[in-house]
Amino acid sequence: MSNFEWNKGFTIDFSLLTGLSTKAESSKRYLSKVASMFYDTEAAAKMIEADDELVYEFYELGAPENAGDLAIGSSILYPGKVGDEYFMTKGHFHTILETAETYYCLQGRGGMILENPEGDYSFHELTPGVAIYVPQRYAHRSINTGSETLVTFFAFRGDAGHDYGTIETKGYRKLVVDRGGVPTLIDNPKWEGTV
Ligand code: ZN
């Protein structure tokens, strides 16, 4: 996609990227495609049978894959739960693990779980106006703990790439579930790592 003047500069209205933009096509993740990341697979299967909901979508604007460019886009995570586990994104490391990233929350309420290969993890709340700095070496996953769509803007170095496979294979150490209306971190019963 090259609607944008990567070598000359451009502006973009990110309020238009919350599903209304005609400038870019989003990538969509329906529940049937991401069901295995939720721990309550029975609840997921029932939901898919009733209605294969859109869990999240994201816009990547096709930045050149150079160290000196910035990959930017937006993530749009819908409210919902599978059992008591909030809707979330798949989460990823970067192919170049030593890559930091920043997200800025535009709308909604939720958070992000960070986790590095050595087992350090943390959960950070996101509300409109809050930015998060994701350090090098940390996988990151967004979680919508609210009743509105969670919209974030992100930026990271253009050649960093995405590694989704590690999370798909091992899962995350921690999950965020609803315990009486309070987002609570629990151990992931499906985690398959060894560290
Ligand atoms: Zn990232």
Using alpha carbons only, what angle is made at residue 178 by residues 176 and 182, rounded to the nearest 5 degrees?
A: 100
Give the CATH number of the domain where residue 80 resides: 2.60.120.10
Domain presence at residue 4: no
User: How do residues 113-162 score in pLDDT, each as one tens digit?
Assistant: 999 999 999 999 999 999 999 999 999 999 999 999 999 999 999 999 99
Domain presence at residue 81: yes
Looking at per-residue pLDDT, the higher value among 168 and 124 belongs to 124
Task: With cut-offs at 50, 70 and 90, classify the pLDDT of residue 21.
Answer: low
Using alpha carbons only, what angle is made at residue 122 by residues 178 and 117, rounded to the nearest 5 degrees?
A: 120
pTM over 0.85: yes
For residue 32, the CA-to-ligand 1 centroid distance in Å is 23
For residue 50, the CA-to-ligand 1 centroid distance in Å is 32
User: How do residues 82-110 score in pLDDT, each as one tens digit?
Assistant: 999 999 999 999 999 999 999 999 999 99
Q: For residue 131, count CB atoms less than 10 angstroms from its CB and return exposed for 0-12, middle for 13-18, buried for 19 or more.
A: exposed
CA nearest to 151, candidates 26, 47, 3, 2:
26
User: Tokens representing 73?
Assistant: 């886009």
Q: What is the DSSP letter of 154?
A: E
Q: Which pairing describes strands 54-60 and 27-30: parallel, antiparallel, or unpaired? A: antiparallel
Q: Whole domain around residue 133: which residue ranges?
A: 14-187
For residue 51, the CA-to-ligand 1 centroid distance in Å is 29
Task: With cut-offs at 50, 70 and 90, classify the pLDDT of residue 191.
Answer: confident
